[in-house]
Homo-oligomer: A and B are copies of this chain.
Amino acid sequence: MATSFAEENYLKIIYRLSESTLEDISTNAVAELTQTKAASVTDMLRKLAEKGWVNYQKYQGVRLTEEGEKIALSVVRKHRLWEVFLVEKMGFNWDEVHEIAEQLEHIESEALINKLDEFLDFPKTDPHGDPIPNKEGILPELSYVLLSDLKENKACVLMGVAKDSAIFLQLLTRLNLSLGAKLMVKEINPFDRSVSVSINDSEPVFISHEVAKNILIKLG
């Protein structure tokens, strides 16, 4: 069955909300992310349920069905592969690609996306460290830790961000923090939990707790 842009956006957003909770997703939560009103969401949830892509009972919240999740994962796959393309091949910065990928994720061609995957050498993660589902919809396992949870004097590598707003990404860039950067927490300030971090063996710089808790790293 064909899916409209609107339907794909709803499914993707329900998927994203489901990642961080086991409970059913509320109408309001969906409304906030889709930038629409609750009444519009109720309408669409009925339609998605009708098509068998979500389980929805009024007042009870919503969950993706297996088929709904499959569609959501294919949209996520396309979004993230196009982001890799935009950064790796088109020379965009990681803070510039999300809006364009929001459009490209709706291009409908299985053949194209699989060729793109191959062209990009089957990347496991997008420019923000988010995992890319393979063509079967399987996500690679990534076990990243928040920089804010790290002990002092442990070497680690920046693998991703927990938030990909342009403003946050631009801040990281200004701090010389990009994917693959070698980090070491030199000191955790107990007052505001800010951390002083050495980036690629340079002089340590200060990073707020707010920033540190949105940076994903792997040890070693």
Please report A residues at the B interface, Cβ cutoff 8 Å.
86, 89-92, 96, 99-100, 103-104, 107-109, 111-112, 115-116, 119
Contacts and interface: CB of A to CB of B under 8 A. Distances in A.
For this chain, the copies found in one complex come to 2
Max count, chain B CB within 10 A of own CB: residue among A89, A90, A104, A119? A90
A91 B115 contact: yes
Contact of A90 (B107, B108, B115): B115
Given A91-B115, A92-B111, 10 more contacts: A89-B119, A90-B115, A92-B112, A96-B111, A99-B109, A100-B109, A100-B112, A103-B107, A103-B108, A103-B109
Nearest to A86: B112
B90 A119 contact: yes
The 5 A-B residue pairs with the shortest CB-CB distance, nearest first, are A90-B115, A100-B109, A103-B107, A100-B112, A91-B115
19 contacts: A86-B112, A89-B119, A90-B112, A90-B115, A90-B116, A90-B119, A91-B115, A92-B111, A92-B112, A92-B115, A96-B111, A99-B109, A100-B107, A100-B109, A100-B112, A103-B107, A103-B108, A103-B109, A104-B107
Contacts of A99: 109
